[in-house]
């Protein structure tokens, strides 16, 4: 394994089998923010342009894959813009424009924006301990990171509505049953299984794989742009509501929210 580069809290290495490992190092929860997505988009762009890389394993250090945003117990969110004015969702579109196949190794929670991140890869190898949740409505909020587009693609419209409306958590066995996870393996085998799948991809003809992937994903980056434009507008006005404040407070206090519809 050879070090490829360090992108903030993202460490990237590459092996002789043409598989890159992109490891998020913000344990234990690997919280989601614009800095992380910017790092991922930059790293994946660089890997796209390196002939040594034919597949990427996206993984994380610690208990959770990506436990969403760190709200710190208040309704205030961290800035979604970079210093030069780029929005988090601009970086999301850049990430979804990656040409190289990606396999996610999901060992724990993938919540909120972290759930959106888990749906960017082509495949998900998960443990029974994995948890997936689009918990936005439980916060008085609107889903983001292109989930409006990606989740129905994977589980179908009706199941996506169930997960969006209720915000409930999907455990590993249900994730496999509904297609959120492609493989379910014991916790200590998740990363190895993801690498095995990535190596199987990497031994195929690389130009053909990229061509097939572009055909199958179609105009996904453009659809992610349209979805995130809508999601951003809805999130901005919902963030001004009392229900948003109550949802975040209830989450911090580990209790059921009492929403007023205002």
85 falls within a domain: yes
Tens digits of residue pLDDT in 14-27: 999 999 999 999 99
Average pLDDT, the chain: 94
pLDDT at 69 over 90: no
What is the domain range of residue 139?
2-189+200-209
219 falls within a domain: no
254 falls within a domain: no
Tens digits of residue pLDDT in 122-162: 999 999 999 999 999 999 999 999 999 999 999 999 999 99
130 falls within a domain: yes
What pLDDT sits at residue 258? 96
What pLDDT sits at residue 36? 96
| Cβ partners under 8 Å of residue 201, min gap 6 | 54, 55, 101, 103, 209
Tell me if the pTM is above 0.85: yes
Tens digits of residue pLDDT in 79-96: 676 656 678 999 999 999
Number of domains in the chain: 1
CATH of the domain at 122: 3.90.226.10
CB count, 10 Å around CB of 203?
12
Q: For residue 169, what are the CA distances in angstroms to 86, 94, 203?
A: 31, 28, 36
Instruction: Give 76's pLDDT tier (boundaries 50, 70, 90).
Output: very low
Arithmetic mean of pLDDT, 61-73: 86
258 falls within a domain: no
235 falls within a domain: no
Tens digits of residue pLDDT in 94-128: 999 999 999 999 999 999 999 999 999 999 999 99
Share of the chain above pLDDT 90, in %: 91
pLDDT at 259 over 80: yes
Tens digits of residue pLDDT in 216-251: 999 999 999 999 999 999 999 999 999 999 999 998
Judge if the upstream peptide bond of residue 255 is cis by omega within 30 degrees of 0. no
43 falls within a domain: yes
257 falls within a domain: no
């Amino acid at each position: 394994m050879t070090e490829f580069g360090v992108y903030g809290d993202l460490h990237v290495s590459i092996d002789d089998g043409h598989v890159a490992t992109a490891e998020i190092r913000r344990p234990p929860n690997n919280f989601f923010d614009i800095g992380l997505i910017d790092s991922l988009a930059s790293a994946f762009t660089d890997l796209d342009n390196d002939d040594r890389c034919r597949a990427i394993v996206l993984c994380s250090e610690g208990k959770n894959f990506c436990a969403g945003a760190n709200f710190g117990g208040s309704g205030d969110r961290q800035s979604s813009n970079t210093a030069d004015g780029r929005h988090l969702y601009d970086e999301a579109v850049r990430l979804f424009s990656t040409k190289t196949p990606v396999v996610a190794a999901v060992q724990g929670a993938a919540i909120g924006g972290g759930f959106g991140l888990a749906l960017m890869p082509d495949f998900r190898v998960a443990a029974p301990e994995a948890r997936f949740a689009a918990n936005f409505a439980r916060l008085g909020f609107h889903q983001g990171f292109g989930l409006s587009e990606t989740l129905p693609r994977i589980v179908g419209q009706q199941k996506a509505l169930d997960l969006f409306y209720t915000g409930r958590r999907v455990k590993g066995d249900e994730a496999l049953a509904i297609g959120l996870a492609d493989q379910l393996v014991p916790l200590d085998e998740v990363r190895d299984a993801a690498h095995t799948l990535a190596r199987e991809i990497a031994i195929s003809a690389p130009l053909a794989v990229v061509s097939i992937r572009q055909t199958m994903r179609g105009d996904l980056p453009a659809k992610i742009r349209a979805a995130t434009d809508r999601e951003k507008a809805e999130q901005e006005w919902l963030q001004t509501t009392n229900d948003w404040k109550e949802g975040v407070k209830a989450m911090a206090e580990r209790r059921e929210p009492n929403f007023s519809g205002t």
